[in-house]
Amino acid sequence: METVAQKPKYNLNEEQEKKLILREYRALLRCLKTRLKPGDRRLLRHAFEMAADAHKSMRRKSGEPYILHPLAVARICVEEIGLGVRSTICSLLHDTVEDTDISLDDIQREFGSEIAKIVDGLTKISNVIDVNASQQAENFKKILLTLTDDPRVILIKLSDRLHNMRTLDSMKQEKQLKIASETVYVYAPLAHRMGLYNMKTEMEDLSMKYLEPDTYREIARKLSETRRERSRFINEFIKPLKDKLDTTGLDFEIYGRPKSIHSIWNKMKKKGVAFEEVYDLFAIRVILNAPPEREKEDCWKVYSMVTDEYNPSPERLRDWLSNPKSNGYEALHTTVMGPNGKWVEVQIRTRRMNEIAEKGLAAHWKYKEGNNEENRFDKWFNQIREVITTQDIDSVDFLSDFKRSFLAEEIYVYTPKGDVKMLPVGASALDFAFSVHSQVGSKCIGAKVNHKLVPISHKLRSGDQVEIITSGKQKPTEDWLNFVVTAKARTKIKDALKEQKKTIAEEGKYTLQRKLEAIGAALNPHNVEELMNHYKLGSALDLYYGIAVKSIDLKDLKEFKVIGDRLEIPKPEKVHLEPKPAHDPAKIPHKDTELIIFGESSDKIMYNLANCCKPIPGDDVFGFVTTGKGLTIHRTTCPNAAKLMANYGHRIVKTKWAKNKEISFLTGLRIIGMDDVGIINKITNIISGDMRLNISALTIESTEGVFEGSIKLFVHDKEELEELVGRLLSLNGIHTVERFETDTAA
């Protein structure tokens, strides 16, 4: 990966450093000015001096004094989340227990148990998502238990992570990749779920800057180039609305704001369009100053005026006034057809709603005055608490289950009595059954959705009314895991299956013991581990179960060596991954080609190219140590990259390409264009004739004058591929040429 430009070397003398630290501390006090009560200033000063003294010999990677980091985290908490004095003290002290001689008892003695408890929570989660996978599940669980205990822990942790992302330039490249991946995989969705939209957006953009630097720079450049044109369009769009609103006497402001680079990139990928074709590069926001009793009425009044002026897209109305999101977000969103045939998103909300949208949970607390809306957060926390106190944390699926279940957008569905249940998008009737009660879920055989009979796998939509049908004879089965997205349902199903499995597995264990003893080996942990690796299984239970249900045939045992009472697995033969085109065998990369250089040394190591993303020289890549398979090379933009780096940071190896023009790599292009006589001929002429590249496979399908083709071919590196893409795009009638990931069957 191309390294991000480094900051100039830090070079202040001791006197200048002291002034800088004091300046930052005073800036923090200014932010807190309106919230300081008698005695607070003294406590803050004490916390600052204690942290500054504890960290005095420590430096950040950039060379700056370490204390600047806690000061910056405290400022983010105050300015961007709206937290107060207690949280500021905790932010200043958040790294002291872990990194310095200060103990938790010292903090309790000086600042009391409330602050000690939060600092303890921050200390527990400081190394989360790092060690091995099952320990990481345990650590992440600690974060979430603390989150449900005192949400300030997670808010300070998010501020800490945001400041680390803002100062990531001075880190080594592999650390940048790991931290950015964790951020986009866990912390950005968590910020979103806590209602911190600005923070979530900045985290996603900063992660993209390190994970996909070329795309990030390209979109940033195009946004910059189109700024003037966008401003002109926004003004043209706003003017008639402003004139209308002025006549109503409403107190309002209206403005346009650009979408984030990350969300534009997501749109480009999801819709398969170029930057120029992403219609909503910005949103128009109307913010009203309205008293609580008139908020809804005024927002709908503005909506009516917007849709009188511009035609709305009926399926793009989002009413979060009647049903706010569980993170407190309230607003009306609509997409309308603006001037020059461009779709524009309009967001309508009040000042109170806007503060909750920007400052999330902290603002939500500020405004809760005994109304029912506060229960949405509490419900969410209670759901998390229920799952993590019963969750079996052997499972490395914990994090992905949590993401799917608690960090997704939600839908609202109703029980037959009209009670509302909150579920993640994509939830099925079976998820609903488990949310009612574990027993209801386990016995569920179907459901009535809006009085119509549906299977348990039926996906629910917001507003559905659901009645569950149960039977005493029903038992959970393996395929149920394909129908559910909530962590509670998955946990309960897995528990039930495990119980069923254990009973059957006992028989398999006995069979294995007999077979091993027959060849002079024993049923011991070493042999079980060897057999698990041989059959590529994740647990001994799976092995015993497979033997019991006869999906594993133990005839392979006779190929094993027995040394003492231990088995030794026969070594598998090496295989070539790439298909060989008949006409040029010399250009095929062999599996044992020396190609990748690791670390600082120039040792060359054997590797596999990941089938999920098929890297080629010139791609930004990282190595991943795979159990039983050695090293696998992935692109940093691989769909699995964020998950691997976030979950298994310790297995990531720094990787770069060695120069080797002799070897070519399989990759694929998808081409879309107008179906024209001779177009195929022109494409193959460029590939085989002009650029002398080998084609491995070519398929073209034409429908009503438009053709879509996919070509698998061998290239030497990314530059060669980019040159080919440029040449193909210059042909008349070719609309798009993009690289796709060749699959295992390639």
Catalytic residue annotation: 98-99
C-alpha pair distances (Å), 693 with each of 469, 665, 685, 721, 732: 61, 11, 10, 10, 21
Distance CA 217, CA 294 (A): 44
DSSP 599-630: SSS--EE--EE-TTT---TTS-EEEEEETTTE
Asked if 454 contacts 446 with a C-beta cutoff of 8 angstroms, the reply is: yes
Neighbours of 455 (CB within 10 A): 12
- Separation of alpha carbons 668 and 713, rounded Å: 6
Do residues 626 and 539 make contact, with C-beta atoms less than 8 angstroms apart?
no
* CA-closest candidate to residue 376, choices 389, 388, 391, 365: 365
Cβ(444)–Cβ(427) under 8 Å?
A: no
Angle in degrees, 0-180, between the axes of helices 85-93 and 14-32, rounded to the nearest 10:
150
Pairing of strands 706-715, 694-703: antiparallel
At 583, list the tokens.
Answer: 């006409």
Phi, psi of 418 (to 5 degrees): 95, 5
In whole angstroms, what is the distance from residue 696 CA to residue 668 CA?
A: 9
Q: What region, left, alpha or beta, does residue 604 occupy, with left being phi > 0 and alpha being psi -120 to 50 degrees?
A: beta
- How many Cβ atoms are within 10 Å of 298's Cβ, its own excluded? 20
CA separation for the pair 26, 8 (Å, rounded)? 25
What's the CA gap between 619 and 543, in Å, rounded?
39
End-to-end Cα, the chain, rounded Å: 26
Question: DSSP secondary-structure letter at 563?
Answer: E
CA angle 501, 504, 510 (to 5 degrees): 125
CA torsion, ordered 102, 106, 110, 111, to nearest 10 deg: 80
Helices (H), 288-436: 295-309, 351-367, 374-390, 398-406, 429-436
Query: Residues 434, 488: contact at Cβ < 8 Å?
Result: yes
Structure tokens at 146: 């603390």
C-alpha–C-alpha distance, residues 446 and 429, integer Å: 8
At residue 532, the 3 state secondary structure works out as helix
- Three-state SS at 234: helix
Residues ≥6 apart with Cβ < 8 Å to 367: 352, 355, 356
> In this structure, what token pair is assigned to residue 184?
């986009």
